[in-house]
């Protein structure tokens, strides 16, 4: 009888330890610190779908850093690079379609709609130029 009581007690302790370890493992999971970025878009949703490259800025009127990102993105426009500013209140459907949850977000997209480079948050003009150059290689 004593052996059964000790066995039950040990089993109980083992269960408690397992539960504590499982909870700790779940709490130690990595925290997601980035907004999801689309991997593919339909070029038909954006201006000038016939040019080889697209630089799309997802923005909002309430976003402080979006204003100066607009200027940086606009400067990338060229004959083979379409640029656009997709301000949330004016293009809510596109924000929802691509599940954009953070702004500013810049996508550098090829002619097939594949997102080759992206930025979430502010980026320097040089970072944007370098990313476009990398994508074009």
Q: Report whether pLDDT(57) > 70.
A: yes
pTM: 0.75
Distance of CA 74 to the CA centre of its chain: 21
Which residues touch 61 (CB under 8 Å, ≥6 apart)?
Answer: 87, 88, 89
Q: Report whether pLDDT(30) > 80.
A: no
Which tokens hold the place of 32? 């997601």
Q: How many CA atoms lie within 13 A of 132 on its CB side?
A: 24
Q: How far apart are the first and last CA of the chain?
A: 77
Percentage of the chain surpassing pLDDT 90? 73
């Amino acid at each position: 009888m004593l052996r059964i009581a000790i066995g039950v007690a040990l089993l109980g302790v083992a269960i408690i330890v397992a539960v504590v370890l499982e909870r700790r493992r779940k709490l130690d999971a990595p925290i997601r610190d980035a907004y999801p970025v689309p991997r593919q878009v339909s070029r038909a949703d954006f201006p000038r779908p016939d040019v080889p490259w697209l630089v799309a800025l997802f923005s909002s009127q309430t976003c402080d850093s979006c204003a100066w990102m607009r200027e940086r993105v606009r400067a990338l426009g060229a004959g083979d690079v379409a640029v656009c500013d997709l301000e949330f209140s004016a293009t809510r459907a596109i924000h929802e379609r691509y599940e954009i949850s953070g702004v500013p977000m810049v996508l550098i997209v090829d002619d097939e709609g594949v997102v080759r480079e992206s930025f979430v948050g502010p980026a320097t003009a040089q970072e944007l130029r370098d990313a476009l150059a990398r994508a074009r290689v």
